[in-house]
Chains A and B, each alone.
Chain A
Amino acid sequence: MLEVEGLTVKAGDRIILEDISFTIAPGEVHILLGPNGSGKSTLLRAIMGMGDQEIVAGKIIYNGEDITRLTVDERARLGLGIAVQHSPALPEVRLRDLAGLLAERYGTSWRSPAQALNCDYLLDRGLNENFSGGESKRAELLQLMIQNPRLLLVDEPESGVDLENIAVVGEALNKLLKGERIKQRAKSGLIITHTGYILNYVNADRGYVMLNGRLVCEGNPRDLFEVINERGFEGCLECATCKRI
């Protein structure tokens, strides 16, 4: 599904990501862990083609196609979808209009997911304008449900979300990922999480730890979390439960 090979990314003169390589097979969900500023969000954005950073080396292969130089929308139309950590406010665009436009584009429906995500009351407001953290995440998940991507890139789905909404967000994410898993074309995901709450809702197959722009180890996500909780991210470098990259 996704192969990242030796990806090195620069912002200005600074290397943000260095020699990143990993593969997500169809149907797999991977988790990305790491302290603030380690480069996790940059990696997701680089895969999606967003932001001003420059890819100076490496490749991003999606379903066998090199997408490294494709534009954001081209990647989206191939089946990549992203939920960013902080969605920008778009007061000019009503959620209803965007949902309708996307539903028409992707041949899906928006009314029932809007209801399921308790977004009905947000439909006539400007997108993310004065939305709470939970409202923003739900609105974003609604867009993704309509878009129905094959590869889901999710940046801290729990960020700014209260406990009640975490369940809604977690279940929606699980539904998005699992939706067609039993069918022929499985969906995949790469999820950044700080708290690990999302692991209660999503079956993650593999986890990575990122430090200073490099993937330093990989292993079972729950094991990685346990080690990080006990010894912090630096301790993760010394543990025996994961595979050093």
Chain B
Amino acid sequence: MRNLQAYLKELKERAEKALTVPAAFGPDFDPALYLKEETDAAAIDGDFSRRMKEAMLLSGFDPEERDRAGSFMQQNDAVLYEEVARAYKGQVEIMAIEKALEKYDWLWDYWWRAVPVDQDKYTAYAALYQKGGYFIRILPGAQIDQPIQSCLLQSENESSQRVHNIIIAEEGSRAEIISGCTTVPQVETGMHLGISEFYVKKGAFLSFTMIHNWAEEFHVRPRSAAIIEDDATFINNYLLLKPVRSLQSNPRAILQGKGARTRFNSIVYGQEDTVLDLGTVLELHGENTRGEAISRAAADGRSRIIMRGKLVASSNTAQALLECKGILLSPNTEMAAIPELEVQGAPRAELSHEASVGPISREAVEYLMSRGLTEEEATSLLLQGFMKVGITGLPEILEKAVDEMTETISLGTM
């Protein structure tokens, strides 16, 4: 890349200026509280501990790497593992981002190009204190028929991860990535700043499933954006079923190519004192672009959930749907659905939204009970269906996680 030094200097300056800029949404906190000396993987003694394994499994990462095309694993600031399965060598690249930036000059052309470095203090801290993250590249035309997996694990209390991921699906490629972010059980508090930039090239198909599994006093600020080219498809699934102190995210998909498609599915379960502010922004600029952003949220305990969604169309042939549906499981929760539609000089674009927030229908529960199901079974069946209805093509791992979650939901306060 020409003028790399100038570009890096510019990034640094922009980040420094943004160090005190709060995010547009969500609770504010000081990321500096969670900056520590570099933390490594000292806790691991040769092999993964049982608890770490459990945490990894919960976030969709299979330490045995069964039926996986490749794996990336980072604990705290240390990259522990980066491997492509033998059958997929030459079709996929997986490596620590620092290594990739060293290897490929051209990668700087993707660095902070989709997500603005000065978006807010969280992007700024991620830029100035970045450690690790992954680079995953699916080579042109490669059809990867088994998922690639990654795990970002935090095993130290009161610490943070500030990672930057770049994922490139080259022209005509096809792949599925399962990315888990998790803590081990003894970790209670901390921060996770994750920058993810996706580039889905012409005719490529990329499915990205993110599973979050945090601790009760964790603050999480993912910042991600996808640039989708002609006839490319980007599927983004997001699952959060564990308590977290606060999580704010508003991923953005830019459908700039003709016929580009995207679908965002989010399934979140707010419990205890969790505060979630989750949105999706779909920008449909190319001709015949299609987008869907579907969210399902269940609020329990004293959780507060805001579901946002914004569709922006600047092409007359763009079509997109936004659907935010929430269910209240406790009288002490707060929930809001905030859909937003915006057309920019494209009067024939078709944007629509559907939003609802409410309790589980008493009539529906009673109807199922009249077939002999207990109140708990009836509620669980309805909740399970609610969390998945309208969401198609969920990976099996997510289906299973949602089913398990709905089966164990406490009905004490209903």
Contacts and interface: CB of A to CB of B under 8 A. Distances in A.
Interface of A: 48, 50-51, 71-73, 76-77, 81-82, 84, 87-88, 90-94, 97-98, 101-102, 105-106, 126, 143, 147
B389 A92 contact: yes
Contacts of B371: 76, 81, 98, 102, 143, 147
B373 A73 contact: yes
Interface in B329-380: 361, 363-364, 366-375, 378
B333 to A, nearest CB: 19
B385 interface: yes
Interface in B381-411: 381-386, 389
Contacts of A76: 369-372
Given A50-B366, A90-B367, A98-B371, 8 more contacts: A48-B370, A73-B375, A73-B378, A77-B372, A92-B382, A92-B386, A92-B389, A106-B372
A98 B369 CA distance: 12
A87 B372 contact: no
Contacts of B363: 88
A91 B325 CA distance: 13
Contact of A105 (B367, B372, B385): B372
A90 B384 CA distance: 12
Contacts of A97: 381, 385
A126 B382 CA distance: 11
A90 B365 CA distance: 10
A92 B366 CA distance: 15
> Which 6 pairs show the lowest CB-CB distances between chains A and B?
A92-B385, A76-B372, A73-B369, A72-B369, A92-B386, A88-B363
A124 to B, nearest CB: 12
A12 to B, nearest CB: 17
Given A90-B382, A93-B381, A84 B367 contact: yes
Given A48-B370, A73-B374, A147-B372, A88 B364 contact: yes
22 contacts: A50-B366, A73-B369, A73-B370, A73-B374, A73-B375, A76-B372, A81-B370, A82-B370, A88-B364, A92-B381, A92-B384, A92-B386, A92-B389, A93-B385, A94-B385, A101-B373, A101-B381, A102-B371, A105-B373, A126-B385, A126-B389, A147-B371
Contacts of A72: 366, 369-370
Contacts of A105: 372-373
A101 B368 CA distance: 11
Contacts of A82: 370
Contacts of B372: 73, 76-77, 102, 105-106, 147
Contacts of B382: 90, 92-93
A82 B364 CA distance: 14
Contacts of A106: 372
A175 to B, nearest CB: 19
Contacts of A92: 364, 381-386, 389
Contacts of B368: 90, 93, 98
Contacts of A77: 372
Contacts of A84: 367, 370
A155 to B, nearest CB: 12
A130 to B, nearest CB: 14
Contacts of B381: 92-93, 97-98, 101
Contacts of B385: 90-94, 97, 126
A61 B389 CA distance: 40
A105 to B, nearest CB: 6
